[in-house]
Chains A and B, each alone.
Chain A
Amino acid sequence: MDCKRAIELRARLAQLRKEELEIEAELCSLEMSHSATLQPPLQSQGSSNVLSNEEIRRYSRQLLIPEVGTKGQRRLRDSAVLVIGTGGLGSPCALYLASMGVGTLGLVDHDTVDHSNLHRQIIHTEASCAGAPKVVSAHMGLSRLSSLCNVRIHNVLLDSSNAKDIMNGYDVVVDATDNAATRYLINDACVLLGIPLVSGSAVRLDGQLTVYNYNGGPCYRCLFPTPPPVDTMAGCSETGVLGVVPGIIGCLQAMETVKLLTGRKMDEHPSMLLFSYASQPHFRSIKLRSRSAGCAVCGDSPTVTELVDYVAFCGSGPHDNAPSWSILDDPAQRISCKEFSAFRSTTPRKPHLLLDVRNEVEFEICSLPNSLNIPLDQFDRRQDELEKAIGDLDGGPVYALCRRGNFSQLAVRHIRDKLGYSECYDIARGLVGWQEEVDSNFPAY
């Protein structure tokens, strides 16, 4: 009986959560289409010089700190902060800003919630993984937390055409994005609009935090005038990230925002905070240069006076996290996942070698049966093993496999050119393709 009741209650909760999201989505679209009447304009708050009883009760523990006090708390309430990106950094940052009493929060994101986000993007929930826009999901997280925070959402990809309109009027902008092109875009827009920028980033086990464009300090371009080469811009989807690492940086972004809003950042020298999971101590602060007089955007004679094409500037954009390379010119050297599946199904099975060239960590996550794992970067060190496996084939084919069909092309080239074995083919689109084209039960990561 109890057991049955528990099942009923769980089902009811799931249903309610689904309904809550639907209501939230409808409210969001109403607020967006009638923003003039349903949302007060930025910087129109601050009518009241006192805190209400409700505010005093709610923020009492924070009011007791002289660094905030009633004056600071009113500043937070009367301020507007734009958080760009509601992912691993933006989730905790937005939650803390709302909980600490920032009056107006803007959110920008163009993405939808995916299961692979949940280990770090803690504002989102399982219910949102059925395709909810991240800003709607985040709106729900914030409205559950506080009815005192006015949340304005922008379900768009930030680019040169809309950035200044969206950012104009905010007191602080938080860069919680995941790619170089958007970071330069946000920096330049902040300089042009005169808004301080709280910038955070995190990959794997490391994080970085800097406040740019504030009080004579540098902007992002002062430090990094030239974008890095495209193949050094690793993102979380390729290299991984420990969930709590962007969480730590996102929380610190919320703290720096509070310092800026309450005027406590004034006395600090510009610095960059480096965090690392592995190092002892975990945090190091590096003293940074001041604004650079020769900077292209914030310098004395700027050459960038309007927003430019940042995807062209950086050579890659917000969508380029999973590249698709074309290394093998001859299409005969590549076969599709479907073709390989048909080949594997023929009986009796022809002798062949399925060579998985991903690193060991990825191979452990999932692999096709009867595949040999030799990571591409170990080909030289394990050449004997590789040559023996090929020698055992009696001239049969080698099929190289990886996650997306990129590195496997390099493997085919290596085996053909360096080892001189021409019966070697690439499985195009790799395991991603296998999951989509052949076996939907194969895990995707």
Chain B
Amino acid sequence: MASSTSIETAPKSTDTLLPKLDFSAGSLDLVVEFGGGLDALIKQELLKNVNGAKQAQIKFPKQIDQHPATIQDLIFHLRDFYVKDKPELFCVGDKVRPGILVIINEMDWEIVEDNADEYAYKLQDKDHIAFISTLHGG
């Protein structure tokens, strides 16, 4: 899909790419991974190569608009600030685009506990969230 240039460490100027977030209600340390070629959609300077996986380590507010932060909030954040130039290859409307599997702590997000609406999943500190594109080739 795109060049496989891997950037080992995030260089200095990522501050200008990201918004100021409100951590007054606390923060969550999240690891967000992009697989199956999705890393090509993401601004390379925001990704780290951790044992071959393309990850973003994100400090995210515990609360957004007085509500516990959900994975929907995270998806908006990724769409608006992490995706390079084709947000439609990551999101269609408010939802993750068809063909992307969302994995929370090594589990299909549909079966994460107490999770009737997967977009309402309340983010937890140290969550590992992976967005994996399905492959078709053979």
B108 with A241: CB separation less than 8 A: no
Binds B, one of A100-108, A142-150, A280-288, A421-429: A280-288
Binds A, one of B64-72, B96-104, B119-127: B96-104
Tell me the residues in window 192-238 of chain A with beta carbons closer than 8 Å to chain B beta carbons: 200-204, 206-208, 223-229, 231-236
B49-78 Cβ-contact flags toward A at 8 Å (1 or 0): 001110000000000000000000000000
Closest CB-CB distance, A17 to chain B, in whole Å? 27
Given the interface contacts A279-B53, A288-B108, does A225 sit within 8 Å of B98 by beta carbon? yes
A204 CA / B35 CA spacing, docked (Å): 12
Q: Which residues of B contact A284 (CB under 8 A)?
A: 106
Q: Which residues of A contact B2 (CB under 8 A)?
A: 377
> A346 on the interface (CB 8 Å rule)?
no
Binds B, one of A55-63, A175-183, A393-401: A175-183
Give the residue name and chain of the B residue nearest to A203 (CB): B137
B99-134 Cβ-contact flags toward A at 8 Å (1 or 0): 111010011101100000000000000000000111
Q: Which residues of A contact B87 (CB under 8 A)?
A: none
Given the interface contacts A226-B98, A229-B88, A278-B52, does A235 sit within 8 Å of B136 by beta carbon? yes
A88 with B138: CB separation less than 8 A: yes
Give the residue name and chain of the B residue nearest to A225 (CB): B98
Given the interface contacts A232-B89, A234-B1, does A178 sit within 8 Å of B98 by beta carbon? no
A228 with B137: CB separation less than 8 A: no
A224 CA / B102 CA spacing, docked (Å): 11
A179 CA / B136 CA spacing, docked (Å): 5
Q: Which residues of B contact A227 (CB under 8 A)?
A: 98-99
> B135 on the interface (CB 8 Å rule)?
yes
B133 in complex: contacting residue of A232, A272, A289, A292, CB < 8 Å: A232
> B3 on the interface (CB 8 Å rule)?
yes
Number of B residues near A (Cβ < 8 Å) is 29
A201 with B132: CB separation less than 8 A: no
Q: Which residues of A contact B138 (CB under 8 A)?
A: 85, 87-90, 176-178, 200-202, 236, 246, 249
Number of A residues near B (Cβ < 8 Å) is 53
Q: Which residues of A contact B97 (CB under 8 A)?
A: 228-229, 232
> A359 on the interface (CB 8 Å rule)?
yes
Given the interface contacts A228-B98, A280-B52, does A203 sit within 8 Å of B136 by beta carbon? yes
Q: Which residues of A contact B35 (CB under 8 A)?
A: 206, 274, 276
Q: Which residues of A contact B107 (CB under 8 A)?
A: 286-287
> A52 on the interface (CB 8 Å rule)?
no
A287 with B99: CB separation less than 8 A: no
> A239 on the interface (CB 8 Å rule)?
yes
Give the residue name and chain of the A residue nearest to B38 (CB): A232
B98 with A202: CB separation less than 8 A: no
A287 with B108: CB separation less than 8 A: yes
A19 CA / B98 CA spacing, docked (Å): 49
A229 with B36: CB separation less than 8 A: no
Given the interface contacts A279-B52, A287-B107, does A224 sit within 8 Å of B137 by beta carbon? no
Q: Which residues of A contact B103 (CB under 8 A)?
A: 286
Known: A227-B99, A286-B132, A289-B111. 19 other contacts (CB 8 A): A201-B134, A201-B136, A206-B35, A206-B36, A207-B135, A223-B108, A224-B134, A225-B98, A234-B136, A235-B137, A249-B138, A272-B108, A277-B52, A278-B52, A279-B52, A280-B52, A287-B108, A359-B3, A377-B2
Can you name 5 A-B pairs with beta carbons within 8 Å?
Answer: A89-B138, A203-B37, A207-B135, A274-B36, A279-B51
Which B residues are closer than 8 A to A by beta carbons?
1-3, 35-37, 51-53, 88-89, 97-101, 103, 106-108, 110-111, 132-138
Which A residues are closer than 8 A to B by beta carbons?
85, 87-90, 176-180, 183, 200-204, 206-208, 223-229, 231-236, 239, 241, 246, 249, 272, 274, 276-280, 284-290, 292, 359, 377
